[in-house]
Amino acid sequence: MSGILSANISIDGSKQAPTGQGLVQLAKASAWDESISNLTVNFRATNSEIHSTAQLQVPAGTVSADLSYSFPTEEYEASANTSGLELDQINAVQAHTLGISGTLTASGSGRGTLKDPQFTATVRMPQLQVRDQTISQVQAQLMVSHQQANFAVKSIVAQGTLEAKGDVGLTGEYPATASVDIRGLPIGPLIASYISGIQTGLEGQTEIHATLSGPLKAPAQLAVHLEVPTLNVQYRTAQIALVRPLKVDYRTVWHLFSRRS
In percent, the amount of the chain with pLDDT more than 70 equals 91
Least confident of 71-75, 92-96, 111-115, 227-231: 92-96
Report, as an integer, the average pLDDT of 170-191: 88
CA dist 228 and 210 (Å) reads 9
Bigger pLDDT: 127 or 257? Answer: 127
Asked if the model's pLDDT at residue 18 lies above 70, the reply is yes
Given this model, what pLDDT does residue 94 score? Answer: 78
**pLDDT-based confidence at residue 14 (cuts at 50, 70, 90):** confident
Is this prediction's pTM over 0.75? yes
- Cβ–Cβ under 8 Å, residues 215 and 221: yes
CA dist 196 and 208 (Å) reads 25
pLDDT in tens, 185-235: 888 767 766 666 555 677 888 999 999 999 999 888 889 999 999 998 887
CA dist 7 and 193 (Å) reads 52
- Cβ–Cβ under 8 Å, residues 102 and 125: yes
Region class of 209: left (phi > 0), else alpha (psi between -120 and 50), else beta: beta
Given this model, what pLDDT does residue 197 score? Answer: 59
Alpha helices in the chain (DSSP H): 91-95, 187-194, 250-260
Give DSSP secondary structure letters for 141-161.
Answer: EEEEETTEEEEEEEEEETTEE
CA dist 205 and 234 (Å) reads 9
